[in-house]
Amino acid sequence: MNQSDFLKVVLPFKDKVFRLAKRLLVSTEEAEDATQELFYKLWKSKEKIADYNNVEAFAMTMTKNYCYDRLKSKQASNLTLVHSNYKEKNTSLDKKLEYQDSVNQVHKLIENLPEQQKIIIQLRDIEEYDFEEICKMVNMKPTAVRVALSRARKTIREELIKKHNYGVS
């Protein structure tokens, strides 16, 4: 497999790999490093890529495993929390602050979920993978994935309702 063929296979899911890494590692720099490391590993084993039924699912699984290893390592204590800024044009300052607050709240709630739920909600609701692909990536049965996703969504919904109704954070 030459470089051009390799890029045609892996570039379509590059952003998804980055977003998953960022969800798990939080830091943009760490996520960029993880993405680069993943593509380096894929390039080293480029001759085996054709053997995989779904290269994207394989890459997402590799990303998840790499991020977990990274978080378990001694260097994990050096990871820093960085929040993304979402900007929209033609929106009043009040609305921008409200949107930013809502986005930050949802990010915080996702970060506080158990690891399994955090990954599943990232893959399903943000990356929009179907259940079959998620099951392969996280090595779980479809029922277990659906239950974990349902629990994650319920937790987020309940916490948002509490915050909006009672101002509890």
Residue type, 112: N
Using the Cα atoms of residue 110, residue 112, residue 114 and residue 116 in order, give the sign of their dihedral. positive
Domains of the chain: 3-78 (1.10.1740.10), 93-166 (1.10.10.10)
Placement of tokens 């390799």 in the chain: 6
Output the CA torsion sign for 54, 60, 66, 69.
negative
Say what the pTM is: 0.56
pLDDT at 142: 92
Q: For the chain, give the percent of residues with pLDDT over 90.
A: 25
Short-list 148, 114, 150, 120, CA closest to 134: 120
Taken in order 145, 123, 70, 110, is the CA torsion positive or negative? Answer: negative
* Cα(102)–Cα(97) distance, integer angstroms: 9
Give, as one character, the DSSP assignment of residue 11: G
Burial of 75-88, coded b for 16+ CB within 10 Å and e otherwise, reads eeeeeeeeeeeeee
Question: pLDDT digit string (tens) for 110-146?
Answer: 889 999 999 999 888 888 888 988 998 899 999 999 9
pLDDT at site 89: 52
Q: Please give the average per-residue pLDDT across 63-79, as a whole number.
A: 73
pLDDT at 4: 86
> Given this model, what pLDDT does residue 93 score?
74
pLDDT at 75: 54
